[in-house]
Chain A
Amino acid sequence: METKKSLFSRLPIVSQLKKSVGLQRGMLIAGIVLTAAFLLTAALAPLISPYGATQRFNETQAPPSSAHIWGTTAGGYDVFARTIWGTQTAVLVIVVAVALSIFIGVILGLLSGYIGGWLDRILVVVADAIYAFPTLLLAMVMSIAISKGQSNLWSGIFSAAISITVVFIPQYFRVIRAETIRLKAEPFVESAIVVGASSVRIMARHIYKNATRTLPLIFTLNASEAILTLAGLGFLGFGIEPSSAAEWGYDLNHAQTDAASGIWWTGVFPGAAIVITVLGLTLLGESMNDLNDPRLRGRKRAGKIKNAPVKPGEMVDA
């Protein structure tokens, strides 16, 4: 939570709200509201939810009633409680995953962009290979390798987070590397070299601060992707065990068989929670992306066109 807040305080949301007009402003406000609701729910889950996340009841697959307002699942879980507690799991995984991938991605990106040469080429080829491969498939293999199939609350959260981290590192790596290469040619870096600053100092002080300006935006966009990946892992049974924490994807997996017999309440609520959360984060990220530094648009597109063999960062508008 702390990480999230400090990052948010760096986001110039207010200035962007002022810049925006009409449709764009509506989308930004919708994004802010939905994301705030998501974070509040996660923070206040113990107060909102009438039951614990892993509390089981004797009524199974009971339709919505006054005791269980969204019904219960085949395993006897309260759907409302599972959906509310699911926000906490999602926030935890996002924070761990994105913090780890930013940390590793930024360091590798700075080194690769600043030092260049063979280190750069190898890292770029590896990052491109990972980046091109389907995110979810790699995360599945990672989670099997990390958790070996069984997991409690924290090991489940960490194995899901690390699986997501591995596939996200290339994205941060690419952005930071491209920025670093651009900044390396700037006069202020050259003057730092001239006055005899060490490479580490230049990277840590001069380039780092400038290259990471855009990260909060990518963070918002990635947070939604992290939720989808976590849910996908859970859905396929490679995520967090249901007895240790509430996780939307896992609940949706079990809802598939319920749906076949017409039981809608076990799937619709956790599913809607995923859609609303991802929608909020995406609207927020996209609107800020459009409104902020226009150069980011070019760079973001370069991230999508992930083909460059030697220097992808330079292919900005290809």
Chain B
Amino acid sequence: MTAMIDLPAVEPAAQAPQRKRKAGGSLGKYLLIRFLLIFPTILILVTMVFFLMRLTGDPITAALGGRLAPDQLALRVHEAGYDRPIFIQYFDYLGQMATGNFGRTISDNLAISDMLATYGTATLELAINSLIVALAIGIPFGMLAAYKRDKYHDAILRVLAISFYATPVFFAGLLLKLVFSIWLGWFPVAGRAGTSTEIAMASLAAPTGIYWLDALRSGNLDAFWDVVQHSVLPAVALGLLTAGIFLRLVRTNVIGTLGKDYVEAGRSRGVSEYRLLTKHAYKPALIPIITVMGLQIALLLGGAVLTETTFEWKGLGFQLAHYLTARDFVAVQGIVALLAVIVAITNFIVDVVAALIDPRVRY
């Protein structure tokens, strides 16, 4: 049934070589253009956020308004240069960014680069943890669903996958908290680590910022256990969301490769269905999954904001919501710029990998 539907999808690919001839691109040229496109992507996002934030006024009035007398406020605004024409401010800002000077946050006076490093590692840790959960659930169950296609296993798994997608991270988090920390008492309700571990982490000489790694390196097993306990619920909440997508991706792709001629040839030679699945169909099916996985970074970052707020996990997303509420534009622009860089570079890498694997992509 599904294989039948998959067939016509191949049709556009058949037209690809024709297009390639038309455009006549080489791999080198394609990669260069693709690399150069990173910059406009970042520029567009930074520009959008800059002007959007300025629509609401200047950062100093927004952050300190009401706490300072109007004339003092005007002086501060003037000193910071926020009363200049907006385009001059914009090019000024771009110039500063180009030289690597991102400024300091207004609300808590941190250097943007320090702020990004501190909270960025927390988000990275959460992302890694949840990716592990997502892969551990998505790949095996996706293969199972493909193997048992259109049987009841498949039906249950597909409905589960859609349910994972349909459940907002903060609701999944709320349910997990209710069941596993309040009723069963297995895991802590919120935070990245207990107080003593936080103190131990803060006093480390050269921390990576990823708590479980730091705890292991310093040989502090109690702290490691504490960090792991705190990590489970956030990782599962965010991981389930992505797991649903991976499951469906793996299923579709494995079904696609299981219908290919070479698998059919293997089947006619008497290769077992299990071996066909694990040896023949699995690996080719992984290639599109790797590329799409890279593209899930946007979803993961969006989900991270919600997960971090749900579990008071002090990462970039948690801080972004905080800084937005405080109208700390400098901090918001810094975070958005970093996320734009991450997204643009990830997409670039995904495209390069896709182009190296599949010549039809280059045109």
Most chain B CB atoms below 10 A, which of A132, A279, A283: A132
The size class of the interface chain A forms with chain B is 35 or more
- Nearest chain B CB to A318's CB is how many angstroms away? 5
Partner of B310, one of A132, A136, A137, A256: A256
Are A133 and B12 interface neighbours, CB within 8 A?
A: no
CA distance A280 to B224 in the complex (A): 42
CA distance A271 to B11 in the complex (A): 42
Give B171-185 as 1s and 0s: 1 = Cβ < 8 Å from A's Cβ atoms. Answer: 101110110011100
Partner of A274, one of B16, B171, B177, B327: B171
Are B5 and A145 interface neighbours, CB within 8 A?
A: no
- Nearest chain B CB to A215's CB is how many angstroms away? 20
A236 at interface by CB-CB < 8 Å: yes
* Segment of A9-17, A21-29, A45-53, A199-207 in the binding face: A21-29
CA distance A268 to B177 in the complex (A): 12
Are B171 and A275 interface neighbours, CB within 8 A?
A: yes
* Segment of A54-62, A70-78, A107-115, A307-315 in the binding face: A307-315
Residue count of chain B within 8 Å CB distance of chain A: 80
Are A132 and B41 interface neighbours, CB within 8 A?
A: yes
Are A260 and B189 interface neighbours, CB within 8 A?
A: yes
Partner of A252, one of B162, B171, B182, B291: B171
Residues in B whose Cβ lies below 8 Å from that of A315: 361
B70 at interface by CB-CB < 8 Å: no
Q: Which of A188-211 contact B (CB under 8 A)?
A: none
Residues in A whose Cβ lies below 8 Å from that of B298: 132-135
Are B344 and A132 interface neighbours, CB within 8 A?
A: yes
Residues in A whose Cβ lies below 8 Å from that of B350: 307
A255 at interface by CB-CB < 8 Å: yes
Are B49 and A307 interface neighbours, CB within 8 A?
A: no
Are A268 and B175 interface neighbours, CB within 8 A?
A: yes
Q: Which of B137-174 contact A (CB under 8 A)?
A: 150, 154-155, 158-159, 162-163, 165-168, 170-171, 173-174
Given contacts A282-B162, A305-B295, A309-B37, contact A314 B363 (CB under 8 A): yes
Given contacts A275-B163, A279-B163, A304-B292, contact A228 B44 (CB under 8 A): no
Partner of A134, one of B40, B52, B302, B363: B302
Residues in A whose Cβ lies below 8 Å from that of B175: 268, 271
Are B49 and A301 interface neighbours, CB within 8 A?
A: no
Residues in A whose Cβ lies below 8 Å from that of B351: 307, 309
A169 at interface by CB-CB < 8 Å: no
CA distance A306 to B296 in the complex (A): 11
Are A135 and B302 interface neighbours, CB within 8 A?
A: yes
Are B324 and A238 interface neighbours, CB within 8 A?
A: yes
Partner of B159, one of A27, A142, A298: A27
CA distance A294 to B340 in the complex (A): 34
Residues in A whose Cβ lies below 8 Å from that of B336: 137, 141
A119 at interface by CB-CB < 8 Å: no
B6 at interface by CB-CB < 8 Å: yes
CA distance A32 to B325 in the complex (A): 39
Given contacts A145-B53, A306-B295, contact A236 B167 (CB under 8 A): no
Given contacts A23-B150, A307-B354, A316-B12, contact A137 B295 (CB under 8 A): no
Q: List 8 A-B contacts (CB under 8 A).
A: A134-B298, A141-B49, A141-B324, A141-B332, A236-B309, A253-B170, A259-B178, A305-B354
Chain B residues close to A by CB (< 8 Å): 1-2, 5-13, 16, 19, 33-34, 37, 40-41, 44-45, 48-49, 52-53, 55-56, 150, 154-155, 158-159, 162-163, 165-168, 170-171, 173-175, 177-178, 181-183, 189-190, 291-292, 295, 298-299, 301-302, 305-306, 309-310, 317, 320-321, 324-325, 327, 332, 336, 339-340, 343-344, 347, 350-351, 354, 358, 360-361, 363
- 9 smallest CB-CB distances across A and B, nearest first, come from A271-B171, A134-B302, A317-B13, A316-B12, A278-B166, A294-B8, A145-B52, A136-B302, A129-B44
Chain A residues close to B by CB (< 8 Å): 21-24, 26-27, 125-126, 128-130, 132-138, 140-142, 144-145, 148-149, 224, 228, 231-232, 235-238, 249, 252-253, 255-256, 259-262, 264, 267-268, 271, 274-275, 278-279, 282-283, 286, 290, 294-295, 297-298, 301, 304-307, 309-311, 314-318
